[in-house]
Structure 1
């Protein structure tokens, strides 16, 4: 029933949205892209959205779309948000208060956008070099760096902050390298605001539909469309309508031509700078009440903001079997051996197709890791045994890898040698770059090291190494000169090894489900209060089941001991307990919650 008390089926009901105003933009965007009958009739699939980085529209669109939809940042919003970030730095660093510094940095940023249009890798590299440029380090500057340099900063703390800021934009260069603009949308919104002012509600009647139609006609045809409508309806346009429409269209054309003149653009920029300076001055006394650019400053699905309850519903629970899954072998090379090391190379192989890409690092490579992998990072360039390799931003690399995984028509099990290392780093990147749902084609991860220890028990008994290069030399007659630790070479070696000694079902037996390992990554920090109460392995099982510590508290507060027992021991689709049915463990958790309560 609608708010008028009638069934929506017996009248043309105008109530088509019941959510909050904040959710309306993303809901409308998703409906336009995913459900438009007009687009479906002409067979048009929307693959790219252009917009600011302040809304969740792209997430709503991707959630309801089977195809990959890409997001490009609007260049006007981008420059505005970039300027805001510079003015924020101005508060803490006196060098930034020099009236020439911020305009110079904005000019460098704008030049980088224009000169590298359509080339995301070069754009990212140029943007990353700008802090060095303003600090007098011109070794990595391109042809854009010419003549004398009036601006030369000294503060090393400011250099670090600027490097972080420019680094964020460099990492997201693929979003705005094409210099996309949503200005046409802003134009049509402006026309609509004149025909349907916000102080009156026209959407409750057909008036809203006609005003929107008139807006589209005005944008495409000009005000003369009124004459065409009247003609089709055999209605007299009135004495002054034709002349008035002509005057409006003439003014509109003159205004559009004038807006393109260099003098007009210069004045518009001058007024914008004055307005911006005035706004910044007021914000210093008022404080900032709205934070924009969240799409660049942080990932849309960072660990602190991921809705794990929603993910439990979105991520499929895949039954891993020989018939339902394909095997894809993969390997990573990293900048070190620690948990927070950067990924430098991703490589994979599926059937006869291979994938390999190098990622642009943001910091130096550990010396020990460099000796092992042959990778060195010198002067903003990555080298593999002294040969320069082309690199791309991490997000771009993840998108490319995700598209490669889609070569598999079935969900895929990713197999790596010592998979706990490779999968941990890959999952960290997937989470940090807000791409958990994008990789839902992954059924899980499997470790070839575990499988090899099972199929070669005599080797284990003799305490021989299961290191991949040693296995390849002992079992496949590889030479000592072969360059292992190049990810693609390692992957192809692993494929030969596994094809020779293992069967597909062996990898599926030791597979850890993607949904579970994602939940472990996201939720295990919340279960820190259970450390020392139950085993670490049991904590990981609780996290893998998608149970947050707050859920345990909520269930106990509502249903007590029985609720916790039911939560932990309920059977899954595989007819196994969700976590455990061990009475002692359940009682220990209950006792802990009772004491905490």
Structure 2
């Protein structure tokens, strides 16, 4: 086992915005019954989504406001991975507690069992015969579950409120939370995530690009080995500590709950967006509508079931609720024409 708990101590809401309204499928939709079609006298405003079988609830967006973090709460972190999706494996975790200078660097055996050549060309990490190499030199590596636990314990040693900062943080945050969920390890809700990319776009406006290497070269006058997580955290820390950048990070923070919400939306999109392919191709549904509907947790098959039980008015209510956009009535009419022509009957 690795012993990575640092020594020393450290010290350690406002009202959030209203969460997006989601209907509870177990308690709403009184006007819709199994096998009953809609009545033309019933308007969309009179229908509540109440009991449609097999219609998943949409993800509940968290209204929690991020904690007001101080400089002692800031930990810069970075992940190197086998790819760009949330199913990719983590192969390196690095972190730096800015105020104390305590540093963590973990190499991780890819859970998928390999590192694609495209990723190796960027990170210099290769995995052969159960051994991880960095620039052709063997490095000590641990299993993903062990690395994630070690990282969690390292973070916990700094107190209850921690602000994890990364450049384009949502990529790292989503992957990190997804991997903790995959391993069944609880992610402390007191952790926040802050995006230095958004911060620097405000602090240093008008630049041609905001890549970390370019920022560090131009602002701190330093060149470093990009795509080595350990080098990246030191480089990012060097410009975060300039001016009053650390004090502004809370303005660009999000919560663990918000990251989980985004993950659920992305998982829903993977599950359901493909069901809209022919409708998008026929220009009945726009790509944006298909994305919003799938992220909310419904497929075209779900809409067919709604239609078979409550007709046009019920389908309009669902489309409006699930964020189909201001043209939801037009979309409902287009689907009505298709479904009625095909004599949809799922009862």
TM-score with structure 2 length normalisation? 0.61
Determine if contact 1:447/1:511 at 8 Å carries over to the other structure: no
Determine if contact 1:416/1:422 at 8 Å carries over to the other structure: yes
Any idea what the Cα deviations from partners look like across 1:519-544, whole Å, max 9, x if unmatched?
12321121322342544444444455
User: How far does residue 366 in structure 1 lie from its aligned partner after superposition?
Assistant: 3.8
Greater displacement, 524-533 / 400-409: 400-409
Q: Which has the larger radius of gyration?
A: 1
Give the distance between the partners of 2:251 and 2:285, measured in 1 at CA: 31
Of the three residues 262, 265, 268, the one matched with 1:523 is 268
Give the distance between the partners of 2:69 and 2:308, measured in 1 at CA: 41
Is residue 473 of structure 1 aligned with residue 214 of structure 2? no
Give the distance between the partners of 2:287 and 2:202, measured in 1 at CA: 25
Give the distance between the partners of 2:254 and 2:84, measured in 1 at CA: 28
1:438 alignment partner, SS class: coil
Of the three residues 347, 351, 365, the one matched with 2:115 is 365
Give the distance between the partners of 2:55 and 2:76, measured in 1 at CA: 28
Determine if contact 2:74/2:163 at 8 Å carries over to the other structure: yes
Give the distance between the partners of 1:310 and 1:569, measured in 2 at CA: 14
Aligned residue runs from structure 1 range 193-342, under 5 A: 317-323=62-68, 328-335=75-82, 341-342=88-89
2:323 alignment partner, SS class: coil
**More helix as a share of residues:** 1
2:200 corresponds in structure 1 to 452
Give the distance between the partners of 2:317 and 2:188, measured in 1 at CA: 28
User: How far does residue 562 in structure 1 lie from its aligned partner after superposition?
Assistant: 4.5
Give the distance between the partners of 1:586 and 1:415, measured in 2 at CA: 43
Give the distance between the partners of 1:589 and 1:443, measured in 2 at CA: 42
Any idea what the Cα deviations from partners look like across 1:238-263, whole Å, max 9, x if unmatched?
xxxxxxxxxxxxxxxxxxxxxxxxxx
Of the three residues 471, 495, 498, the one matched with 2:240 is 498
Determine if contact 1:414/1:442 at 8 Å carries over to the other structure: no
Change (3 A) 1:336 1:458: same
Change (3 A) 1:378 1:331: same
Stretches of structure 2 lacking an aligned partner (at least 5 in a row): 3-53
Change (3 A) 1:515 1:338: closer
1:277 corresponds in structure 2 to none
User: How far does residue 475 in structure 1 lie from its aligned partner after superposition?
Assistant: 0.5
Give the distance between the partners of 1:442 and 1:543, measured in 2 at CA: 30
Determine if contact 2:64/2:255 at 8 Å carries over to the other structure: no
Any idea what the Cα deviations from partners look like across 1:35-81, whole Å, max 9, x if unmatched?
xxxxxxxxxxxxxxxxxxxxxxxxxxxxxxxxxxxxxxxxxxxxxxx
Determine if contact 1:344/1:358 at 8 Å carries over to the other structure: yes
1:429 alignment partner, SS class: helix
**More strand as a share of residues:** 2
Give the distance between the partners of 2:144 and 2:127, measured in 1 at CA: 16
User: How far does residue 335 in structure 1 lie from its aligned partner after superposition?
Assistant: 3.5
User: How far does residue 584 in structure 1 lie from its aligned partner after superposition?
Assistant: 0.6
User: How far does residue 563 in structure 1 lie from its aligned partner after superposition?
Assistant: 4.2
Of the three residues 210, 215, 226, the one matched with 1:484 is 226
Give the distance between the partners of 2:307 and 2:163, measured in 1 at CA: 36
Give the distance between the partners of 2:305 and 2:151, measured in 1 at CA: 39
Determine if contact 2:178/2:263 at 8 Å carries over to the other structure: no
Give the distance between the partners of 2:90 and 2:55, measured in 1 at CA: 25
Determine if contact 1:317/1:515 at 8 Å carries over to the other structure: no
Give the distance between the partners of 2:254 and 2:177, measured in 1 at CA: 21
TM-score with structure 1 length normalisation? 0.38
Stretches of structure 1 lacking an aligned partner (at least 5 in a row): 1-118, 121-306, 571-577
User: How far does residue 474 in structure 1 lie from its aligned partner after superposition?
Assistant: 1.1
Determine if contact 2:75/2:96 at 8 Å carries over to the other structure: yes
1:393 corresponds in structure 2 to 143
Determine if contact 1:332/1:346 at 8 Å carries over to the other structure: yes
2:47 corresponds in structure 1 to none
Give the distance between the partners of 1:308 and 1:389, measured in 2 at CA: 49
Aligned residue runs from structure 1 range 38-77, under 5 A: none
Give the distance between the partners of 2:155 and 2:333, measured in 1 at CA: 43
Give the distance between the partners of 1:308 and 1:441, measured in 2 at CA: 29
Change (3 A) 1:510 1:312: closer
1:344 corresponds in structure 2 to 91
Aligned residue runs from structure 1 range 1-16, under 5 A: none
Change (3 A) 1:440 1:510: closer
Of the three residues 125, 128, 133, the one matched with 1:375 is 125
Equivalenced residues, count: 273
